[in-house]
Structure 1
Amino acid sequence: MDSNLYVSIGVKLTVALIGLLIMTRLLGKKEISQLTAFDFVSSLMLSELVGNTIYDDEIHLSHLVFALIIWTILALGLEKFIALFPKISRYAAGTPDLIVCDGVVDFKAMKRNNLDFAQLGMLLRENNIFSLREVAYALFETNGSISVLRQKNPEEHIGNVTERQGGVSLPAYIIENGSINEDTLKRLGRDRKWVDQLLQLSGIADHECVLFAEWSDSSGLYYQLKEKKKA
């Protein structure tokens, strides 16, 4: 391989890196967490663009610079255009979706965003929240993160506490969308009979009508029933 080719690849890589950093700053994206779906697609396109030009002898440095400039102009122009027309913005970048409203989980919103309770729990823990009883409102953002407004007094909110053993313990979902989580029960050293007794104490005849049930040894049971289907 010609030494000039090594030099050409090194120069293209350097220019591409500088160009991508400049473009990122111009678009105002300081963190990966700020990237929207459009930004993610744009980054994939840029990676293809840069990758295909770096190792091609027939594509000169000027071509790479030209491509980066054009793509930056297009991206900036599209963002400005979207800003002028909010309706287009909602389709291009999406809108935040209310997952929890006034302490009540919107399961339809969860399904729209392909979220299950395990993922919701992970997102809440990233906000230093370990129990749904602490959540008043939760917005699922367009970048995949979640924004949470806490309850003023979680103990006074809906749900039912059937046992208290003091101390602090990690809450766990024992029921998700009407299905008993056997793995969680095994970890807790409990069984389905215990779940049925717990629900009966709360006036619930069947676990299948429970959207979710959360248990902790320190705070007891917290649950939400499924919405009744209209006839």
Structure 2
Amino acid sequence: MTRLLGKKEISQLTAFDFVSSLMLSELVGNTIYDPEVHLSHLVFALVVWTLLALGLEKFIASMPWLSRYAAGTPDLVIRDGVIDFKAMKRNNLDFAQLGMLLRENNVFSLREVAYALFETNGSISVLRQKDPDSLSGDAKAQQTKVCLPESIIENGSINEDALRRLGRDVQWLQQLLQLSGIAHHERVLYAEWSDASGLFYQLK
């Protein structure tokens, strides 16, 4: 049945594929443990269910709007370098998960991201920002310095663990925000700090 439904990885299976797998396992289980269910019953049920699943899959694929409804559509969670927090909430995605998905794409800072597309299989596709113009002298050395950014504010809440890892405190963060014209950290949707690149933030 898996071959008939096409080449799909486990992460690409739709909800319908998952239900089909559960149904098939139930049919096999009944055959093994119920003495009144014979092998011929199993074969008949498998054929009927496979044909039904295959037919429904083809029917859904022939109607794009229904296919989008059944399988879902990708959702932009970062658009033109700006986090779409509504899209994150719509997909039950928090900043820790977003950071993990970005790191899987070898992206360690949100400032590197132009667009991030949250796929229907739970992965994320990233289009990076264009490389900045070539720098010279001390500026170039500072630009090429590699530092791991820390997420210091997420949805208005200060990440004190990140501040400790940076060797900083809340007072330092408040002063940093004031220098950026931000009166209170609750106005900030997301902020990260890198010793190489400084502060990156987005307001709510």
- TM-score category (smaller protein): 0.7 to 0.9
Aligned partner of 1:152 in structure 2 is 130
Unaligned runs of 5+ in 1: 1-22, 156-163, 227-231
Q: What is the CA RMSD across the aligned residues, in angstroms? A: 2.1
Q: Which residues of 2 match residues 127-206 of structure 1 at below 5 A?
A: 127-153=105-131, 167-206=145-184
Describe the shift of the 1:42–1:220 C-alpha distance in structure 2 as closer, same or farther (beyond 3 A). farther
Unaligned runs of 5+ in 2: 134-141
Report Cα offsets for 1:7-43 as digits up to 9, x if no partner: xxxxxxxxxxxxxxxx111111342122223323332
Q: How far is 1:112 from its partner?
A: 0.5
Q: Is the 8 A contact 1:167 1:218 kept in 2?
A: yes
Q: Which residue, 24, 45, 52 being the options, matches 1:67?
A: 45
Q: Which residue, 182, 186, 189 being the options, matches 1:211?
A: 189
SS of the aligned residue for 1:144 comes to coil
| Residue 78 (str. 1) matches residue 56 (str. 2) | yes
Describe the shift of the 1:220–1:41 C-alpha distance in structure 2 as closer, same or farther (beyond 3 A). farther
SS of the aligned residue for 1:118 comes to helix
Q: Is the 8 A contact 2:30 2:37 kept in 1?
A: no
Q: How far is 1:165 from its partner?
A: 9.1
| Residue 36 (str. 1) matches residue 14 (str. 2) | yes
Q: What is the total number of aligned residue pairs between the two structures?
A: 197
Instruction: Give the partner amino acid of 2:47.
Output: I
Where has structure 1 moved over 4 Å in runs of 4 or more? none
SS of the aligned residue for 2:100 comes to helix
TM-score, normalised relative to structure 1: 0.78
The 10-residue stretch of structure 1 (179-188 or 139-148) with the greater mean CA deviation from structure 2: 179-188
Rounded to whole Å, the distance in 2 between the matches of 1:218 and 1:198 is: 15
TM-score, normalised relative to structure 2: 0.88
Q: How far is 1:120 from its partner?
A: 0.6
Q: How far is 1:225 from its partner?
A: 0.9
Rounded to whole Å, the distance in 2 between the matches of 1:150 and 1:188 is: 26
